[in-house]
Amino acid sequence: MNHLRTRAVHAGQAPDPAHGAIATPIHQTTAFGYGTLEHGAAIFAGKAPGYRYSRFANPTVHALEAKMADLEGAPAALALSSGTAATSAIVLGLLKPGDDIVFLGPLYGGTENLFRSLAGRFGIRAIDASEQGLTASLTANTRMVWVEPLTNPSLHLHDLSQVAALCKARGIISVADSTFCTPCLTRPLEHGIDLVMHSMTKYLGGHGDATGGLVAGAAALVSAIRQTGLGQVGGNLAPQEAFLFLRGIKTLPLRMAAHCEGALAVARFLASHPAVSATHYPGLNEHPQHALAQRQMQGGYGGMVSFELSVGTRAQAAAVLDRLTLFTQAVSLGDVDSLACHPASTTHSFISPEARAKNGVGEGLIRLSVGIEHPNDLIADLAQALSCLLLSSG
């Protein structure tokens, strides 16, 4: 199976041998019988294949992990209960007190807050490389570098090949949160990154009805994260959610094509609107990193668009957001429904005002998750919402 569309449907799944069911069954059980004492001991020791307890592994979850490992080109993958659980498991599973984690911002607010607040309680120092650059931010204690290929919500790109090369030269683990891109647009491991993680809640699920996270990469790294994230912290994914993700991923390439088509049309409209001072979308020719996006992204530039209002106040952002009808005001992203949010008061409210300002998350910034509706209808909705600013300025 060479094509991603085919692999999204078939990888990790086959008709159930018991009854021939095409959809992978939901193995809704906590424990598994293992027959004899010796066989059970071998499973617990990792010397024999098999299942013992759903916190550690479950057949439905395993099918999802196999599918995502295939799509990311990874030797191993681990599914967890949320994207934040995946982030926490990576940090706690691979770092120890005295280690430094360097991140290239801006990041999703929850991730950055975890690094800045929680990691320190475990003796792990977080260093923001946004101002002085990655090379200058590395220390003798740096053990991990965290990057988003497409940042949230500024839609800035980081060159994954450069990050990976620098980390490999110094023996540092590199991690890419590729939630915005999915394997359809960017596969970080192909650029030399060690681990890729996703909030599966977003595009991978695609329907806004399941919460989950995923880590994929080298087997030894994933095994260490599994031991911490599942065995010690207990962030396991439930089989019902795994079933929903298996269902959602089958249509991922088709959905991503529609997201990308709609987002490009919306971005072009916003870029020419007099009430908008800046539009952030890597598919626009005027995006400062458009050339990098062309090299690093395949098949499209994503479904996320952010824009800044000419009068950048919270009141003006509220006036626009509150008039939208097709875009639902909500956090999260990647649903088939279009969503809109005000990052400064929602997703990035955990971050200090100074850090938000430094990363371009101002009061006039609006983030759109463009769904799969017809682009013309979405543009009409944005046009009527933005018209209130033109009327007020007139």
For 255-280, what is each residue's pLDDT tens digit?
A: 999 999 999 999 999 999 999 999 99
pLDDT in tens, 190-206: 999 999 999 999 999 99
**What would the DSSP string read from start to end of 232-254?**
IS--BPPHHHHHHHHHHHTTHHH
Domain termination residue (choose one: 249, 269, 288)? 249
Lowest mean pLDDT among 11-15, 45-49, 89-93, 177-181: 45-49
Residues 352 and 221 in one domain: no
Q: What is the mean pLDDT of residues 137-143?
A: 97
Say whether pLDDT at 55 is over 70.
yes
Identify the pLDDT of residue 324: 98
Residues 227 and 243 in one domain: yes
Please state, rounded to an integer, the average pLDDT across all residues of the chain.
94
CATH code where residue 92 lies:
3.40.640.10
pLDDT-above-70 percentage for the chain: 99
Distances (CA, A) of 228 to 145, 150, 177: 19, 28, 19
Identify the pLDDT of residue 393: 54
Q: What is the mean pLDDT of residues 225-229?
A: 95
Question: Residue 383: which residues within 8 A CB-CB, separation 6 or more?
Answer: 269, 273
Residues forming the active site: 55, 108, 177, 202
Q: What is the dihedral of CA 278, 105, 180, 268, to 10 degrees?
A: 10
Question: Residue 180: which residues within 8 A CB-CB, separation 6 or more?
Answer: 148, 149, 150, 152, 202, 203, 302, 304, 333
Say whether pLDDT at 109 is over 90.
no
Identify the pLDDT of residue 391: 65
Domain termination residue (choose one: 249, 280, 299)? 249
Give the count of beta carbons closer than 10 Å to the beta carbon of residue 138: 18
Residues 244 and 291 in one domain: no
Say whether pLDDT at 299 is over 90.
no
Say whether pLDDT at 105 is over 90.
no
Residues 140 and 187 in one domain: yes
Number of domains in the chain: 2
Domain termination residue (choose one: 229, 249, 269)? 249
Residues 319 and 212 in one domain: no
Domain that holds residue 210: 4-249
Give the count of beta carbons closer than 10 Å to the beta carbon of residue 218: 15
pLDDT in tens, 12-52: 999 999 899 999 999 999 999 999 999 999 999 989 999 99
Q: Are 372 and 258 in contact (CB under 8 A)?
A: yes
Residues 164 and 61 in one domain: yes
pLDDT in tens, 350-368: 777 877 777 778 899 999 9
Structure tokens at 263: 């987002």
Q: How confident is the model at residue 143 (pLDDT cuts 50, 70, 90)?
A: very high
Residues 107 and 227 in one domain: yes
pLDDT in tens, 310-361: 988 999 999 999 999 999 999 999 999 999 999 989 878 877 787 777 777 8
- The answer to pTM > 0.75 is yes
Task: Collapse the DSSP code of 94 into the 3-class scheme (helix H, G, I; strand E, B; otherwise coil) and give the result.
Answer: helix
Q: Is 49 exposed, middle or buried (0-12, 13-18, 19+ CB in 10 A)?
A: exposed
Q: How confident is the model at residue 117 (pLDDT cuts 50, 70, 90)?
A: confident
CATH code where residue 374 lies:
3.90.1150.10
Identify the pLDDT of residue 348: 80
Residues 281 and 373 in one domain: yes
Residues 311 and 209 in one domain: no
Residues 205 and 277 in one domain: no
**What would the DSSP string read from start to end of 285-332?**
TTSTTHHHHHHH--S---SEEEEEESS--HHHHHHHHTT-SSSEE-S-
Say whether pLDDT at 72 is over 60.
yes
Q: Are 8 and 68 in contact (CB under 8 A)?
A: no
Residues 55 and 189 in one domain: yes
Residues 242 and 335 in one domain: no
d(CA 350, CA 364) in angstroms, rounded, equals 17
